[in-house]
Structure 1
Amino acid sequence: MSAGLAIETEALGKRFRGRDAVADVALAVPAGSVFGFLGPNGSGKTTTIRMLLGLISPTSGSASLLGSAMPDRAAAVLPRVGALVEGPGFAGYLSGAANLARLDSADPVADPRTRKRRIGEALDRVGLSAASSKRVKAYSLGMKQRLGIANALLRPRDLLVLDEPTNGLDPQGTREVRTLVRSLADGGTTVFVSSHLLAEIEQMCTHAAVMRTGRLVAQGTLDELRGAAPDDRLHLATPDAERAIAALGAAGLTATQAGAEVVAPLAGRAIEDLVPALVAAGVRIRGIRAAEASLEDRFVALTGEGFDVAN
């Protein structure tokens, strides 16, 4: 396995009932990064995560966490890994603090002498100190998500794997999780975040990968995934959309109508060089601007799908 990678897979695959749920996945997650794992529902993200953590065995290929082969070296490497996968599961009749104490006591390498302090610190980091004595059955979904993250943070971790960590959180809670992830990364922890919320990934992550129907279709830094310079697209507000599309086509640009605007990839062209051609073609210009391609644009270009697709 390569040096400098917190997670690496080679041709990783999993078959269920003769069907490939995940096939030929080659992830490369740099140590110290905040890595977003993107894909529509049913694209194989959670299955991949379960293989990475040794919860299920791969049908083919290999995986490594923190330089150790999984699942062969799971006992040695997993104490250095915190995880929240497929939502937290807690005893509803126990308080948040009691649940964490129960889980920590089951950890063979956790120090019972520091348990109370570590639980208090973990609850404080996720904003649950005031609710620590409340029974978990009274927790909202967002509070349970926070408690799951607190459990992953009971001890220092070199790698944190979070599957949909902002599920059920209100905007304030989402911002707090985003801040927490950044602080962990600043402290040297690699954070691997599975999500379908593109806006959150753009604000939180340094790198990302995109899954589609069980296969990895792209990965890299966010700028590499966008695959464009900051002035990638022309946005033109005009009542003469058809005329503008024709004029831009004559200039070598493929334009389309998007709502009240005409949009075209600039492909290195400067807007000021296009305006005279538009005016000469009789296009009335109400507004014109250059905009950076978003991660959502790149995702749609890669998969042709939205995030409600589950097949």
Structure 2
Amino acid sequence: MQPPPVPDTSVPAQSGAAPSGAAPVVETRGLTKRYGGGRPAVDGLDLSVPRGSVFGFLGPNGSGKTTTIRMLLGLIEPSAGSARLLGAPMPGAARQVLPKVGALIEGPALYGFLSGRDNLLRFDAADPTADPRTRAARVGRALERVGLTAAARKKARAYSLGMKQRLGLAAALLQPRELLVLDEPTNGLDPQGMREIRALVRELAADGTTVFLSSHLLDEVEQVCTHVAVMAGGRLVTQGRATELGAGVRGRLAVTTPDTADAARVLKEHGLTELIVADDRITGELPTADPPDPADLNAALVRAGVRVRAFGTERASLEDAFVALTGEGFDVAG
């Protein structure tokens, strides 16, 4: 078996591009997991994760994301279908593949009686590919990268949930990885911690690491991911570039004016629906069939005597796309 192609690090992390002809880092065909006789937790999943991407695996809690990740990493066996990681079949090639993969799944399992640093030393010692002569330096770099240097000697049982998440991420980063799999990596973090993890993900992608990021936080995915897959009820709803996910979903027009009643009347006459008025701002959904030219709308508002202070269109967000694709709110468990 030929080794996976070397990542093209000249591609910007946010470009969503992968080297031409590169094989997918993650690929599944009909991947299915059934527990007992009920509905499958994962049902016929066909997934393709491009090399060099930051791939957002998106879906509400209970949609099958963590079960999928467990099958990808060989932690559980599928009921049907197949999965390949870095070009090799899983779970059969786990011994060859997993040393190239870092993972943080459902929160880290830590030794509470050990310090953060000693936890990482223990994890590193369990890696047969890790050089013991450089272990201390490797652990130090990982702690610094996730912002835990000052708390390195503190017992892990005294760590907050967010600190435990950081320590688990540090463990995943002890060695250079071709693929980093993160399951809800910002769970328990404060807003500043979430910003730091997002920055770290971008940095890793820029260095050539493919990042597979499972999350139910739309804002998190929208800010860092180049590609997205949407799960609901164990099934794949859609996948593709993040910038294209909202294609076909109606955008919104926003007008700021003190004359909201008159503005609403004009917008309705031009086919806008779902009008929402908040103080001096009114928004409405543009029709998908033959949408009006925004310049014509603006002119119509002015002719009607509406004092327009601000005017513009808003692209469909990931939340808009999710609701349009699944017909349900994002907090509904699959």
Q: Do they fold alike, i.e. is TM over 0.5?
A: yes
Asked if 2 retains the 8 angstrom alpha-carbon contact of 1:84 and 1:163, the reply is yes
Residue number in structure 2 paired with 1:182: 202
Matches within 5 A, 1:71-220: 71-220=91-240
Deviations 1:18-50 (A, max 9, x none): 221111111111101111111011111101111
Structure 1 stretch displaced more, 121-130 or 283-292: 283-292
2:276 maps to 1:258: yes
Residue number in structure 1 paired with 2:253: 234
In structure 2, relative to structure 1, the CA distance for the partners of 1:13 and 1:276 (3 Å cut) is: same
Deviations 1:267-300 (A, max 9, x none): 5642112244556778776653211221111111
Q: What is the alpha-carbon distance in structure 2 between the residues aligned to residue 75 and residue 258 of structure 1? A: 55
TM-score normalised by length of structure 1: 0.91
Q: What is the alpha-carbon distance in structure 2 between the residues aligned to residue 104 and residue 214 of structure 1? A: 35
Task: Provide the secondary structure at the position in 2 that maps to 1:20.
Answer: coil
Q: What is the alpha-carbon distance in structure 1 between the residues aligned to residue 311 and residue 142 of structure 2? A: 49
Asked if 2 retains the 8 angstrom alpha-carbon contact of 1:12 and 1:63, the reply is yes
Cα deviation, residue 226, structure 1: 1.7
Asked if 2 retains the 8 angstrom alpha-carbon contact of 1:240 and 1:284, the reply is no
Q: What is the alpha-carbon distance in structure 1 between the residues aligned to residue 269 and residue 193 of structure 2? A: 47
Structure 1 stretch displaced more, 278-287 or 96-105: 278-287
Task: Provide the secondary structure at the position in 1 that maps to 2:40.
Answer: strand
Q: What is the alpha-carbon distance in structure 1 between the residues aligned to residue 128 and residue 148 of structure 2? A: 25
Asked if 1 retains the 8 angstrom alpha-carbon contact of 2:64 and 2:233, the reply is yes
Cα deviation, residue 199, structure 1: 1.1
Residue number in structure 2 paired with 1:13: 32
Task: Provide the secondary structure at the position in 1 that maps to 2:142.
Answer: helix
Q: What RMSD in Å do the two structures reach over aligned CA positions?
A: 2.3
Select the residue among 37, 42, 52 that pairs with 2:62: 42
Cα deviation, residue 108, structure 1: 2.0
Matches within 5 A, 1:275-294: 275-277=298-300, 287-294=310-317
Asked if 2 retains the 8 angstrom alpha-carbon contact of 1:247 and 1:278, the reply is no
Deviations 1:82-117 (A, max 9, x none): 000001110111000111111122222222222111
Select the residue among 293, 298, 302 that pairs with 2:325: 302
Cα deviation, residue 236, structure 1: 3.7
Q: What is the alpha-carbon distance in structure 1 between the residues aligned to residue 122 and residue 152 of structure 2? A: 14
Residue number in structure 1 paired with 2:269: 247
Q: What is the alpha-carbon distance in structure 2 between the residues aligned to residue 180 and residue 147 of structure 1? A: 14
In structure 2, relative to structure 1, the CA distance for the partners of 1:17 and 1:244 (3 Å cut) is: farther
Deviations 1:218-265 (A, max 9, x none): 111111102169x9432245224763454022xxxx511234324122
Cα deviation, residue 9, structure 1: 0.7
Q: What is the alpha-carbon distance in structure 2 between the residues aligned to residue 280 and residue 143 of structure 1? A: 58
Residue number in structure 2 paired with 1:25: 45
> Identity over the aligned pairs, expressed in percent?
61
The amino acid across from 1:75 in the alignment is R
Asked if 2 retains the 8 angstrom alpha-carbon contact of 1:244 and 1:283, the reply is no
Deviations 1:121-173 (A, max 9, x none): 11111011111111001111100000000000111100000000011111111
Tell me the matched-pair count. 306
Residue number in structure 1 paired with 2:14: none
Which ranges of structure 1 fall in alignment gaps of 5 or more residues? none
